[in-house]
């Protein structure tokens, strides 16, 4: 596994942060709202052992400074596509969590040739995917409404750590607007033709019946893992990793690599 590297690219007015871990076929990880790329660190030892894992931080999140424009899932999709283009990535597998999954849906809609396979975790394509109390919480979110470790991680890496409250306010504004550009219609989901893995936790903030309907629209099955909205990634990722490794065909790639190694060992003896 190659040494990790990080950097910034100028993307649509942003100074956009990314990290690259491992080597091989690209696997893009898209974080949740108000989170940073570090939320995926519990997955990295396994994922980066098999793939070149690219972590991206969106507008106003983590190392990527905010700018004078609203937060928008559709715009984040465009920013992601441009960053990947600048990194020379023309095809990749994508894993999006929560809001990152909604960004990934926009990426699949607008750049269908970019994505080989798409994994979505705790993802919605419309606000009614959440339980009603969650919708109200997002619309009236305050800076102290989230786990303290989220704020601490933001303040640790953000270029302007004093802007945490501003980030939450812009997220609440997006939830209140819930405009058509930021979310997708059911027919648009049906037009996504790449293979999809859809995952939720058994104590998630996503309505199970909504998730089942979403799986049908995406021509896939719903996978339910043990955990709440975040714990199945951050503290107990083993079950999720099994599904990701199977879906992204890590085992098959290892088998092919072993076959090639055996072939050349036999030729050299």
Rounded to whole angstroms, the Cα distance separating 222 from 115 reads: 20
Per-residue pLDDT of the chain (269 residues; tens, 9 = 90+): 567 899 999 999 999 999 999 999 999 999 999 999 999 999 999 999 999 999 999 999 999 999 999 999 999 999 999 999 999 999 999 999 999 999 999 999 999 999 999 999 999 999 999 999 999 999 999 888 888 999 999 999 999 999 999 999 999 999 998 777 889 999 999 999 999 999 999 999 999 999 999 999 999 999 999 999 989 999 999 999 999 999 999 865 544 444 434 433 444 44
Burial state string for 138-172 with b = 16 or more CB within 10 A and e = fewer than 16: bbebeeeebeeebbebbeebbeeeebbeebbebbb
Domains recognised in the chain with CATH numbers: 5-268 (3.40.50.1820)
Reported pTM = 0.92
With tokens 């306010």, the residue in question is 169
Residue 38 DSSP code: G
Asked if 8 and 17 touch (Cβ cutoff 8 Å), the reply is: yes
The CA distances from residue 11 to 82, 86, 113, 188, in Å, are 7, 9, 20, 26
Rounded to whole angstroms, the Cα distance separating 179 from 171 reads: 13
């Amino acid at each position: 596994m190659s040494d990790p590297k990080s950097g910034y690219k100028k993307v649509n007015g942003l100074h956009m942060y990314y990290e690259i871990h491992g080597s091989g076929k690209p696997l893009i990880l898209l974080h949740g709202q108000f989170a940073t790329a570090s939320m995926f660190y519990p997955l990295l030892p396994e994922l980066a052992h098999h793939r070149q894992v690219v972590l991206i931080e969106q507008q106003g999140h983590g190392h990527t400074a905010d700018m004078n424009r609203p937060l928008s899932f559709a715009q984040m999709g465009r920013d992601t596509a441009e960053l990947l283009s600048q990194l020379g990535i023309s095809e990749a597998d994508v894993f999006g969590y929560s809001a990152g999954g909604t960004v990934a849906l926009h990426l699949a809609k607008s750049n269908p040739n970019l994505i080989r396979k798409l994994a979505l975790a705790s993802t919605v394509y419309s606000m009614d995917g959440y339980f009603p109390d969650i919708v109200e919480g997002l619309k009236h979110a305050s800076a102290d409404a989230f786990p303290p470790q989220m704020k601490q991680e933001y303040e640790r890496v953000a270029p302007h750590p004093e802007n945490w409250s501003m980030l939450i306010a812009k997220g609440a504004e997006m939830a209140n607007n819930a405009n058509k550009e930021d979310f997708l219609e059911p027919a648009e989901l049906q037009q996504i033709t790449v293979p999809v893995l859809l995952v939720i936790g058994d104590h998630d903030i996503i309505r199970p019946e909504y998730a089942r309907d979403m799986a049908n629209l995406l021509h896939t099955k719903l996978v339910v893992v043990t955990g709440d909205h975040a714990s199945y990634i951050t503290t107990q990722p083993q079950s999720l990793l099994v599904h990701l490794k199977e879906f992204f065909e890590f085992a098959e790639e290892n088998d092919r690599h072993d076959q090639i190694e055996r072939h050349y060992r036999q030729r050299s003896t």
